[in-house]
Amino acid sequence: MDEIALVESARKGDLDAFNRLVLAYQDLAFNVAARMLSDVELAEDVTQTAFLSAYRSLDSFRGGSFKSWVMRMVTNACYDELRRRQRRPTVPLEPVDEDDEEIESPSWLADESGSPEELFERAEMERAIQRCLGSLDEEFRAVAIMVDVQGMDYLEVAAALNKPLGTVKSRVARARLKLRDCLRGIWELLPSIYRQEEQRKP
């Protein structure tokens, strides 16, 4: 069953159809939330909240990209959480084990393959990327996460953020400029990663 048919069934009250859509987008939603909030537990809560909001608001879906519509729920829930969190301490994105030692290769990372050195370097790079994303303003961070980290299309992001396409283009460029300056150190610190990425260049 394609996405449009699933959405139609869900709007008619078919919970299974809605849950199939949830399964299709939950990784993307959780990734965006985790990157936005730099907090795994909060990201879990926010993702659940976003899907509940989506289910409750199915009647207001007016067609178009369901992915963008769901991501709007996610980003709105993230913005709400960021405002609430200003008064609360946060849990770092890097998970720790029972002895409060950082886990170098967390089980929730999608890519666990590679040698110990590669895993270490990847973990270092991950920390640097998350630190640099966290240094951006919310609007720039959301755009950078969706376009650069998650590889979403400009139009999808514009629909998700309810912003004009030109605004998204401008924010992508400005976010990349800031991230370039912030990430310059990681290239010098971990040149092997940079070389690997160069080799992967399409």
Partner 1 sequence: MKANLTVRDFELFSAYLDGQLSPAEIKRLEEQLDANPEWREALSELEATRRLLRSAPRYRAPRNFTISAETARSLKPKRQLFPAFPVFRLSSALAALSVLAVVILQVVGLRAPAAANLVAMAPAMEAAPMENSAQKTAGEEPEYTFQWTQPQGFGGGDGTGVSEPAGSMVTGKYPSSGGIVTYGDQQPQPAAGGMGGGGGTGAIVLPPNALPSEKMADGEMPSRAGTAEASPPSQSAPQVEQPSAERYFSTVIEGGGPILGLPAPGEGGKVIDSSADETPVVRAEGETGAVLPPVRMAQIALGILAVLAAAAAVFFRARRI
Q: Given the complex with partner 1, which of 55 and 85 has the nearer CB atom?
A: 55
We find the least distance from the C-beta atom of residue 113 to partner 1, in angstroms, to be 11
Compute the distance between CA of residue 26 and CA of residue 19 in angstroms, rounded to an integer.
10
Residues contributing to the site for partner 1 (CB under 8 A): 15, 18-19, 22-23, 26-27, 29-31, 34, 40, 44, 47-48, 51-53, 55-56, 59, 76, 108-111, 122, 125-126, 129, 144, 147-149, 151, 154, 169-170, 172-174, 176-177, 179-180, 183, 186-187, 193-194, 197-198, 200-201
Give the shortest CB-100-to-partner 1 separation in angstroms: 20
Collapsing DSSP to helix, strand or coil, 39 comes out as coil
Taking each helix axis from N to C end, the angle separating 66-85 and 40-56, rounded to the nearest 10 degrees, works out to: 130
DSSP per position, 54-75: HHHTGGG--SS-HHHHHHHHHH
Q: CA separation (Å) from 1 to 9, 18, 54, 58, 187? A: 10, 12, 20, 18, 45
What is the closest distance, in whole angstroms, from the C-beta atom of residue 5 to partner 1 in the complex? 18
The nearer residue to partner 1, 5 or 52, going by C-beta atoms, is: 52
